Every structure is written in structure tokens, then in C-alpha cells.
């Protein structure tokens, strides 16, 4: 409890300061709402440097972990996050750091994690691949870098609406914390609690009013922490199926893979070119029909906040069964397949304007 409270308070205080004194830094930290197809916010002077309070909260959590558990591992985990977080923050301030340098920063962080924390995937529950992972350090290192970098980037993909990514992150880390507690891995439990507390401190200002955004720094910090804890949870605890974290994070992972498929295969464009047809964007445009067309800032913000709960429910459809079958590889694989089928079905239904009326939010005077 001390870890969550301390990281929450520091994150909340830093977020409050960034919002209160936004005029001092908004010229370099603002999120310009007219700058791209994925902007659905009301104000052009909203700080997008939530990565600062999130890292501050995590740092505080590490101090508490060191005090309670007398371990240096928390400091090593914080250290290995810095390349991913730093590249994200550079984009937030400079706004000219492309996806590739940020991805390379995540790869570097994963490589550092393999060196300092021995965070390397050695088994996936698939015999042939498991043989390669155990027999070749080079293969396991490269595979881990690819997995960690991809998952890190996936959180940035879903960070599109107030509270969306933050709540999904809390759900994912909550699942990891629960299993870590069950198997007695206190370091991972405390690490999850520190990141949850930091995220809650940020979330109080991010949802529903969107007074501060996580930005790339915050999203990459979330993503890397989730990815690294996923690897460590499986590596340190062989009783945990490697498909447990896979099912827990399948929503952002599949959103990323499906986005690459849409852009590269269906549209023949670069996978790095932003568009407005992510699932969360479609839900905003086609399911949240409340005050459509209104230019009033309050209406835009409220409509934005109505979008995220749809995706929270979707994410819970993977988190809950993952907790039930955390050590049953074949059930976890089946649940991953079912989630993918459900996602594609929902996406197709919305694209074709066949969503059931009961999930569409309208004004009372709309038919």
C-alpha cells in the first residue's frame, strides 16, 4: 500500500504542477489538436509530457521498494527503461523523432534489460522455437528485443483517447501483480504496484477532462514496463505459462499487428503513416454519436471520454480469462485465438455500419 500511495502522490503532484504552470512550457510541450488524423481533443494547449510525472511516480516507487525489500533490482529496472522513455520524451519536446528511432530506443532498452536483469525469453510453449531459444543466446536475445520493442510500441498505438491507455495499463499490471503475489515474486509485485500508483496519479487529471496527455514518453514508459515485467514474470517463474502475459496484452498487440496488416497489405502504404481507422477511432466516429458535429469544447471532451470505456471492456475480455488459466498454455492459446476472432468481428461490424443499436450512444433527441 505504501508503494502505491507514494508513487500516486508524486505523480499527482507533478501532473498538477505541469497543468497549473502550463503557460511556462506549453510552447514546447503542447499537443496541437489540428496536427494529424488521430487528434480528437478540444484544447491546443494541453501538455503532452505526462511521461515526466509517470517516471517521477515510478522513481518514488523504486525508492519505496528499496526501503521495503532491500533489493537493487528495482533500480536496475528503472535504469533499463530510460532509453525507451528518453526517446519518447524527445519526440514529445522536439516533435521530429520518427517511429524508427523510438523503436530502436526500445530495442536498446530490451538489450540492456537482458544484460542487467537477465530478461530473455527462453520458452514459449512451442517445441521447435523453445529449442532455438534455449540453444542460441543470440536468437533468444534478438527474439526478446523484437517482442519487447513491439509491445512497447503497441501501447503508444492505443493511446488515442482520454483514459484509454492508462486504464488498460492498470488492468494489465493489476493482472501481473495478482499472479506475482500468488507465486510469491515480491519484486515484480512491487514493481507493478509502483507503476499502477504512478498511472493513477496521472489518470486523475487525464480522465475524463484530458488536462494532460501521456505523450510518447509516457506511452513508451508504460509499454516497456509491461513488456519487461512480462519477460521477467515468465523467466523467473517457470510455472507461469508464457501465454499468460500474451493473453493479458493481446488487445494492444493485436491492434498493432492488425494496423500493420491494414496499412501494408490492404492499403499498400507505409505502416508508419498515421490514420484514423484504428478500432478506437471507429468507435468514436460511429458508436459514440453523442453531440456529433458540435464544436463546443465541453461536448468534444465529453464525447472523447465516452469512447474509452468501450475499449476497457474489450481489454477485460482478455485479462479475466488470463487470470483464470494463467498456468494452462493450451487454454491461454485458445483464448488468444477467440479474442482475435472477436476483435476482427467487431471491427468488421463497425466498418460495415452493422453495429447493434444498443451499443450506440446518441443524444436523447436522436433517433
pLDDT band (50, 70, 90) for residue 282:
very high
State the pLDDT at residue 78.
95
State the pLDDT at residue 41.
53
DSSP string across 142-208: HHHHHHHHHHHHHHHHH--STTHHHHHHHHHHHHHHHHHHHHT-HHHHHHHHHHHHHHHHHHHHHTT
From first CA to last CA, the distance across the chain in angstroms is 48
pLDDT band (50, 70, 90) for residue 21:
confident
73-90: pLDDT as tens digits: 999 999 999 999 999 999
Question: Taking residues 318-329, what's their average pLDDT?
Answer: 97
Burial 79-92 (b: 16+ CB within 10 A, else e): ebbbbbbbbbbbbb
State the pLDDT at residue 209.
92
Alpha carbon distance 281, 214 (integer Å): 18
Q: Are 47 and 18 in contact (CB under 8 A)?
A: yes
Count of alpha carbons within 13 Å of 311, Cβ hemisphere only?
32
Report percent pLDDT > 70 for the chain: 95
State the pLDDT at residue 264.
83
Q: Report whether pLDDT(132) > 80.
A: yes
Q: Are 141 and 111 in contact (CB under 8 A)?
A: yes
205-260: pLDDT as tens digits: 999 999 999 999 999 999 999 999 999 999 999 999 999 999 999 999 999 999 99
Alpha carbon distance 12, 267 (integer Å): 42
Query: CA angle at residue 109 from 103 to 112, to 5 degrees?
Result: 145
Q: Are 18 and 53 in contact (CB under 8 A)?
A: yes
State the pLDDT at residue 265.
83
DSSP string across 258-303: HHHIIIIIIS-S-TTS--S-SHHHHIIIIIB-TTTT---HHHHHHH
162-197: pLDDT as tens digits: 999 999 999 999 999 999 999 999 999 999 999 999
pLDDT band (50, 70, 90) for residue 273:
confident
Instruction: Provide the mean pLDDT of the chain.
Output: 91
Residues 6+ apart with CB under 8 A from 285: 276
pLDDT band (50, 70, 90) for residue 26:
confident
Amino acid at each position: 500500500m505504501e508503494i502505491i500511495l507514494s508513487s500516486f502522490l508524486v505523480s499527482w503532484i507533478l501532473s498538477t504542477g505541469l497543468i497549473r504552470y502550463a503557460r511556462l512550457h506549453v510552447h514546447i510541450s503542447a499537443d496541437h489538436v489540428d496536427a494529424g488524423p488521430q487528434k480528437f481533443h478540444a484544447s491546443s494547449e494541453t501538455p503532452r509530457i505526462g511521461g515526466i510525472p509517470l517516471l517521477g511516480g515510478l522513481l518514488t516507487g523504486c525508492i519505496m521498494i528499496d526501503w521495503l525489500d532491500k533489493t537493487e533490482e528495482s533500480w536496475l529496472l528503472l535504469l533499463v527503461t530510460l532509453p525507451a522513455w528518453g526517446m519518447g520524451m524527445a519526440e514529445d519536446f522536439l516533435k521530429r523523432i520518427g517511429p524508427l528511432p523510438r523503436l530502436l530506443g526500445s530495442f536498446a532498452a530490451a538489450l540492456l534489460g537482458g544484460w542487467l536483469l537477465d530478461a530473455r525469453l527462453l520458452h514459449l510453449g512451442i517445441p521447435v522455437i523453445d529449442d532455438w531459444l534455449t540453444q542460441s543466446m543470440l536468437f533468444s536475445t534478438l527474439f526478446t528485443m523484437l517482442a519487447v520493442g513491439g509491445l512497447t510500441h503497441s501501447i503508444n498505438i492505443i493511446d488515442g483517447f482520454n483514459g484509454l491507455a492508462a486504464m488498460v495499463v492498470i488492468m494489465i499490471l493489476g493482472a501481473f501483480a495478482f499472479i506475482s503475489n500468488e507465486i510469491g515474486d515480491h519484486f515484480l509485485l512491487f514493481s507493478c504496484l509502483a507503476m499502477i500508483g504512478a498511472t493513477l496519479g496521472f489518470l486523475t487529471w487525464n480522465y475524463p477532462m484530458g488536462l494532460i496527455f501521456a505523450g510518447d514518453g509516457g506511452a513508451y514508459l508504460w509499454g516497456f514496463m509491461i513488456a519487461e515485467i512480462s519477460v521477467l514474470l515468465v523467466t523467473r517463474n517457470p510455472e507461469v505459462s508464457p501465454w499468460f502475459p500474451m493473453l493479458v496484452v493481446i488487445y494492444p498487440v493485436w491492434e498493432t499487428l492488425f494496423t500493420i496488416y491494414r496499412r501494408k497489405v490492404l492499403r499498400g502504404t507505409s505502416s508508419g503513416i498515421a490514420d484514423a481507422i484504428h478500432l478506437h477511432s471507429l468507435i468514436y466516429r460511429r458508436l459514440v454519436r453523442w453531440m456529433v458535429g458540435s464544436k463546443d469544447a465541453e461536448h468534444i471532451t465529453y464525447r472523447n471520454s465516452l469512447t474509452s470505456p468501450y475499449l476497457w471492456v474489450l481489454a477485460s475480455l482478455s485479462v479475466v480469462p488470463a487470470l483464470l488459466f494463467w498456468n494452462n498454455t493450451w487454454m491461454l492459446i485458445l483464448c488468444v485465438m477467440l479474442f482475435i476472432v472477436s476483435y476482427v468481428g467487431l471491427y468488421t461490424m463497425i466498418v460495415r455500419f452493422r453495429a447493434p443499436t444498443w451499443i450506440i450512444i446518441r443524444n436523447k433527441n436522436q433517433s
